[in-house]
Amino acid sequence: MKLASLKKGRDGELIIVSRDLKQAVKASDIAPTLQAALEDWANVESKLKARSDELEAGKAEGSFAFKQDDVDAVMPRNFQFLDGSAYLPHVERVRKARGAELPPQLLDDPLMYQAVNDGYDSPRDPIRVASEDYGIDFESEVGVIVDDVPMGVSEEEAGKHIKLILILNDVSLRKLIPSELAKGFGFIHGKPRSALSPVAITPDELGEAWKGYKVHLPLITHYKGEEFGRPNCGVDMQFSFARLVAHAAKTRPLAAGTLVGSGTIANRDESLGSSCLAEKNVLEVINEGEAKTGFMRFGDTVKIEMLDADGNSIFGSIEQTVEEYK
Amino acid sequence: MKLASLKKGRDGELIIVSRDLKQAVKASDIAPTLQAALEDWANVESKLKARSDELEAGKAEGSFAFKQDDVDAVMPRNFQFLDGSAYLPHVERVRKARGAELPPQLLDDPLMYQAVNDGYDSPRDPIRVASEDYGIDFESEVGVIVDDVPMGVSEEEAGKHIKLILILNDVSLRKLIPSELAKGFGFIHGKPRSALSPVAITPDELGEAWKGYKVHLPLITHYKGEEFGRPNCGVDMQFSFARLVAHAAKTRPLAAGTLVGSGTIANRDESLGSSCLAEKNVLEVINEGEAKTGFMRFGDTVKIEMLDADGNSIFGSIEQTVEEYK
């Protein structure tokens, strides 16, 4: 089952989207918003599934053409976004860029921060930033959405609370980060709003590619129209999503609709490219002596997408252009 | 005007409370929840004010006795909680306890972290923690709630977005914090859910005590039934709430209902006591050679309250008991 949100108010209007992303049908009579659906998932899931089956069979009343250019973020806002950093090749490279070492505890203690959840950019929204001097960067990631998770949940139980999967662009302002992190309390300025994919999917949509609570497919990033990276999300992921959810819930419950992110996808195999400019710059310094790529300029574009084995887009694409905020 | 939320669903039901906290009247026909009111503040403020005036005049239809023991957190959940740390005496003392110095940039660059907003404890909820070994602590704070704040807002404009004031208990798990902060990305385990006061108030309720976007009154904490501290919130606050809101909004808009906290209230004058156990322990080490107070045990109580010049409770009290979470 694939779900999306039409633009409507602060929370959007829930729709079901066909597997091929070509057709859609409203579901707001079942649950008005995706947030509402997740708060009552046990009751609404089967109803949504039944309508999804109708849509796939071409029998859904009131179905219409799905246009990923027009939808809101699949969750226009939610109540929590905890972003992990499960790909240690990324952590190592970005810390190297800041002159920092990888603390050994990160091998078995997930790195995670509390990110902005009061609004997400839609998949076609510009990335609005006041200055190019902030060091504008994208980060291509996968995320999962849970229903209500009790405090202290085990890793095994945590996996059962994963209801949806999506992809996202975790925008980073690299040049604001070092002085902010030096203060010791995490990100406020360095991580503005993220953009979410047009569509979120139930895990069963991935078939064999959802295994061990990891997504075993490449996430493909294009920067300024050219392929920039296609690391495999199932490779070098130190902590599964089940582990990340359990980590997040150690001392507090997680409200339904909480988004838990994977962190920037990165593989040790450098030939697969990167999922953010910071890594590319670090690799250039290591391999060529100096950083050449720099960061995003006003007008630059980024496109993030995941394809299935047949080359079809799973979540729709995130396509954003950097725009000066005045 | 004073507002509160009856327990009802995930967001409560909006009520108006009389100045003396004795009477209340429903306001859910004007806006169903406090969150909804803040999202449409320009339209609903005058309607809420008119009903508040009726309530004060003893003419509000359907008024009932207000019981602060029964209400939910004034906002049972919202979309963002950014907690500043504006009282540098607190920052200095707590860092000293961790063996860390005060970075000089903190004198003109506010310390702030993104805190848990997907659920707040009600003012009488227990503090549920799995283990006393976590180093359970309270932090008595003041916070403000804003309407929609645009990205990049000036300090002067930011002040105008402050619509409500409240007090809160920012629960901290001290012994989980050092290893977590060593990872560099802020708090996940060390700062679980906070409790909010029974009532939030519009700034005009404070009269002369609201000046320069600071609250010029003591915040009184009782620990295990004895007075623990009464530092003045208007003293040694390095950054006003207007400044904290502007800081928070530098690279992102803030959604209506965002809570911006002051950080633990602390004065240089040690005779006024503290607003958290961590400070008390540090001062004991400095002045007596060893920490004697320790942290909260199961069954320990904390009470946080602010009184006006006549000794009347302004926000109602937060009264919590630590309870083992199993």
Nearest-Cα distance to chain B for A137, in Å, is: 14
Cα(A183)–Cα(A180) distance, rounded to whole angstroms? 6
Please write the tens of the pLDDT for every residue from B61-80: 999 999 999 999 999 999 99
- SS3 of residue A52 by DSSP: helix
- Please give the pLDDT value at position B286: 83
User: Is pLDDT of A151 > 90?
Assistant: yes
Minimal Cβ distance to B252: which of A39, A106, A192 = A192
Q: Residue B297: is it exposed, middle or buried by C-beta count within 10 angstroms (0-12/13-18/19+)?
A: exposed
- Please give the pLDDT value at position B148: 98
pLDDT range class, residue B104, cuts 50, 70, 90: confident
Cα(A169)–Cα(B185) distance, rounded to whole angstroms? 19
Q: Where are the beta strands (DSSP E) in A108-251?
A: 112-114, 127-129, 136-137, 140-146, 162-169, 172-173, 195-196, 200-201, 210-211, 214-215, 220-223, 226-229
User: Is pLDDT of B320 > 80?
Assistant: yes
Name the residue type at position B243: R
Minimal Cβ distance to A77: which of B79, B116, B193 = B79
Nearest-Cα distance to chain B for A88, in Å, is: 13
Task: Check CB contact of A222 with chain B, cutoff 8 Å.
Answer: no
- Using only C-alpha atoms, what is the Rg of chain A? 19
Q: Which chain B residues are closer than 8 Å to A103 by Cβ?
A: 182-183
Instruction: Identify whether the C-beta of residue A302 lies closer than 8 Å to the C-beta of residue A223.
Output: yes
Please write the tens of the pLDDT for every residue from B133-176: 999 999 999 999 999 999 999 999 999 999 999 999 999 999 99
Calculate mean pLDDT across residues A184-199: 97
Q: Residue B182 CA to chain centroid, in angstroms? A: 26
Spatial neighbors of A95 by CB under 8 A, at least 6 apart, are: A101, A102
Q: Chain B residue closest to A134 (CA)?
A: B251
Q: Which of residues 249-268 of B touch A (CB under 8 A)?
A: 250-255, 258
User: Is pLDDT of A41 > 90?
Assistant: yes
Instruction: Identify whether the C-beta of residue B188 lies closer than 8 Å to the C-beta of residue B203.
Output: no
Q: Chain A residue closest to B149 (CA)?
A: A118
- Please give the pLDDT value at position A35: 98
Nearest-Cα distance to chain A for B184, in Å, is: 6
- Please give the pLDDT value at position A126: 98
Instruction: Identify whether the C-beta of residue B285 lies closer than 8 Å to the C-beta of residue B291.
Output: yes
Task: Check CB contact of A77 with chain B, cutoff 8 Å.
Answer: yes
| pLDDT higher at B91 or B269 | B269
DSSP assigned state of A176: G
Q: Using alpha carbons only, give the angle B19, B23, B25 rounded to the nearest 5 degrees.
A: 105
Cα(A178)–Cα(A185) distance, rounded to whole angstroms? 12
Tally A–B CB contacts below 8 A: 141
- Please give the pLDDT value at position A19: 98
- Please give the pLDDT value at position A286: 83
Q: Which chain A residues are closer than 8 Å to B193 by Cβ?
A: 252-253
Q: Which of residues 83-102 of A touch B (CB under 8 A)?
A: 85, 100
Please write the tens of the pLDDT for every residue from A245-304: 999 999 999 999 999 999 999 999 999 999 999 999 999 988 888 999 999 999 999 999
Cα(A168)–Cα(A120) distance, rounded to whole angstroms? 10
Cα(B170)–Cα(B167) distance, rounded to whole angstroms? 10
Interchain contact, B188 vs A250, CB within 8 Å: yes
Spatial neighbors of A145 by CB under 8 A, at least 6 apart, are: A38, A75, A78, A162, A163, A164, A165, A166, A200, A257, A258, A259, A260
Instruction: Identify whether the C-beta of residue B31 lies closer than 8 Å to the C-beta of residue B14.
Output: yes
Q: Which chain A residues are closer than 8 Å to B184 by Cβ?
A: 100, 111, 181, 184, 186
What is the number of residues in chain A?
A: 326
For residues A30, A31, A33, A35, the Cα torsion angle rounded to the nearest 10 degrees is -140
Please write the tens of the pLDDT for every residue from B279-318: 999 999 888 889 999 999 999 999 999 999 999 999 999 9
Task: Check CB contact of B133 with chain A, cutoff 8 Å.
Answer: no
- Please give the pLDDT value at position A75: 98
Cα(B18)–Cα(A10) distance, rounded to whole angstroms? 31
Interchain contact, A184 vs B181, CB within 8 Å: yes
Helices (H), A196-276: 241-248
Cα(B87)–Cα(B84) distance, rounded to whole angstroms? 9
pLDDT range class, residue B29, cuts 50, 70, 90: very high
Q: What is the 3-class SS of B68-125, one letter each residue?
A: CCCCCCCCCCCCCEEEECCEHHHHHHHHHHCCCCCCHHHHCCCCEEECCCCCCECCCC
**Report field, pTM of the whole predicted structure over 0.90:** yes
Nearest-Cα distance to chain B for A157, in Å, is: 16
Name the residue type at position B93: R
- Whole-complex ipTM: 0.96
Task: Check CB contact of A192 with chain B, cutoff 8 Å.
Answer: yes
Q: Where are the beta strands (DSSP E) in chain B?
A: 2-6, 13-17, 23-26, 64-65, 81-84, 112-114, 127-129, 136-137, 140-146, 162-169, 172-173, 195-196, 200-201, 210-211, 214-215, 220-223, 226-229, 259-261, 301-305, 318-324
User: Is pLDDT of B97 > 80?
Assistant: no
Minimal Cβ distance to A79: which of B77, B114, B253 = B77
For residues A294, A295, A299, A305, the Cα torsion angle rounded to the nearest 10 degrees is 110
